[in-house]
Structure 1
Amino acid sequence: MKPIIFALTLLLPLVWTEPIFAETSPRQHRQDLTCQNSILLAQNPALTLGEAADLVSEWLTAKSRIFAPPFDRRTLEQFTTGVLYRDTLKAIDFLIENDAYYEYGVQKVETVERFAASGNKATIEVRVTEDTTFYQNGQVKDSDFNTKRVRYKLEYWDGIWKIADFQVVD
């Protein structure tokens, strides 16, 4: 009978410990754990604060292609998932049906206020400055320039991090 090996392993994206009982040699057990951890890392890669802030900055830049002709749905799909993706598709349809679009001036992440990541989800709260102008039938209908605190919910989806939702906090 092979010796029973007790190992305590930390599952990186789940942040808890789980006892593992195995009837394998110590060498085989290490190889199995390495393989399992590699699979977990591939499914749930770590996201740094800098990468999350870059994603938000890239999203801000992409909005000018998404919310104005030709209303780039491929770019939308590249940056969003979940609720934000579905809601933005509806917004694009509304803009097209109402001969409307947005123009953007300054768009900038001013500061990162908070960041947390666990597994395939992350949240980043940032101060964002945006200069937006809403046009309908070729006429300016609304214009805004302000700095807001926005909380973005991110998810790892289809092999990349995407924005799943956001909320203006103040």
Structure 2
Amino acid sequence: MESKVFDTFQTWLQVKSIVFASPYDINLLKKYTTGEYYEERLNSVKWLEKNNESLEFKNKITLSDIQRFEVIKNNQVIIEVQIDEEMKTYKNGVVRKEEKFLNTKQFLLELEKGDWKISKGLGVEGK
């Protein structure tokens, strides 16, 4: 179970730049997220599209970066993971802002129709 949850989470990190940049792939968003987490990101995509902005992410994460893995129910898991991430914000195709983060974040993942999906961000600790 842990490796399937990790694979889902790692793949989500890899596809974030596709979701948050034109043409804003909502199908990928639906594939890896659900519930509150999905709704918040969908609103972000709509805002980015309306304002002709996009986000690009580069991140590093390995299975050893998972600091907590807790099964809440058979279909819910909390993970706490350290993410080393770079983010660029583009406006009309021009870099407007560049940021680097090293954060410990917690996420709730739920099993939905046989697939693990991120359903909620539970907290962030900047380091």
TM-score after normalising by structure 1: 0.68
Structure 1 match to 2:83: 128
Going by fraction, where is strand more abundant, 1 or 2? 2
Q: Which amino acid in 2 is paired with 1:114? A: R
**Structure number, greater radius of gyration:** 1
Pairing partner for 2:6 from 29, 32, 53: 53
- The reply on whether 1:157 has 2:112 as its aligned counterpart is yes
Kindly, what percent of the aligned residue pairs are identical?
30
Instruction: Quote the Cα distance in structure 1 between the aligned partners of 2:120 and 2:15.
Output: 16
Measured against aligned partners, the alpha-carbon deviations of 1:116-144 in whole angstroms (never above 9, x if no partner) come to 11221110000011111001123322211
Measured against aligned partners, the alpha-carbon deviations of 1:40-70 in whole angstroms (never above 9, x if no partner) come to xxxxxxxx22222221111100101100011
Q: Which has the higher contact order (CA 8 A, sep 6+)?
A: 2
Superposed CA RMSD in Å reads 1.3
Pairing partner for 1:65 from 14, 18, 22: 18
Aligned length: 122
Instruction: Quote the Cα distance in structure 2 between the aligned partners of 1:127 and 1:50.
Output: 16
Q: Match of 2:45, SS?
A: helix
Q: Which amino acid in 2 is paired with 1:135? A: Y
Structure 1 match to 2:93: 138
Structure 2 match to 1:80: 33
Q: Which runs of 5+ in 2 are unaligned?
A: none
Instruction: Quote the Cα distance in structure 1 between the aligned partners of 2:109 and 2:79.
Output: 8
Q: Runs of 4 or more off by more than 6 Å in structure 1?
A: none
Q: Match of 2:61, SS?
A: strand
Structure 2 match to 1:169: 125
Q: Match of 1:68, SS?
A: coil
Q: Which region of structure 1 is more displaced relative to structure 2, 108-117 or 91-100?
A: 108-117
Measured against aligned partners, the alpha-carbon deviations of 1:53-112 in whole angstroms (never above 9, x if no partner) come to 22111110010110001100111100000001111111111001101001123x122511
Q: Match of 2:38, SS?
A: helix
Instruction: Quote the Cα distance in structure 2 between the aligned partners of 1:88 and 1:67.
Output: 9
